[in-house]
Structure 1
């Protein structure tokens, strides 16, 4: 949900800045602008001569302004690129033995890992998400353990069975995993 809100806000801010820049450019080229725009006259400027020359004698002013604006632009671009970056590999490169390799859908590998983890004794539900590059993915695994399950035994079996099976079948040298455990809630038992 936060990603959706983040992207919507980024799009709205970008659209507002694009419209404001377009209106300033249109006014500078002598085109008509809406009447509500504050700089609609032919002699209106964004910064008056007095505003521009106020700190001209101070040698620090304009370098500081330019450096501040450069930092803002770099941070805005970094934020934009981080929004567009995909954190999940769509495909995993599988060693097929012929030297070229094959591509396996990332969601298919996630689904197989989830099924293998849920088949383990003591695991009620599993959620797997692949991260990283397609040539060297890693897994984030969330396990919902049943009340009687031993966390150590469940993690050991997950490592020895499900992750080893996935690593061997894809031909990956390593498949690092981050496992998060949570215990399932169970109702109170009544003694009669």
Structure 2
């Protein structure tokens, strides 16, 4: 059972379309070079005239090329940030009586929701990777600038993590916690 991966499908679709366009352009170039009938005249120019285009055309070309370059850089940056693949754990003690399957994303949703309720936390994202007997938890916490990271970390290690380990039936769960600060600051009214 594989997880749905819309960005992966989009990447494959865009790359397939780009590949087909390049194959068509290459075929058209070869056909023109060898002078096959019904296509372009190899002796003709690409654009009519030899004069320089108006200045506004050059500006538009520059803006479009810059935007296209920035979009390509954004796409490349998105490729570096990959989410772990969703896994399915089978929780069964007696296979003859049935089986229980648990998606790792489903297992950590309540955990992340609990962390988001901590004071100073704007958002939390958790991912559980690996097999059931060798799992690793990665937590990314987006916190306010004035948030007490020590208090968040203490509540995480004394409340949320023990509950998650108990719910999953794990003795140990190696955990990596990353804090990211939001640009927003909050003021407390007393």
Q: What TM-score do the two structures reach when normalised by structure 2? A: 0.49
- What is the TM-score with the length of structure 1 in the denominator? 0.49
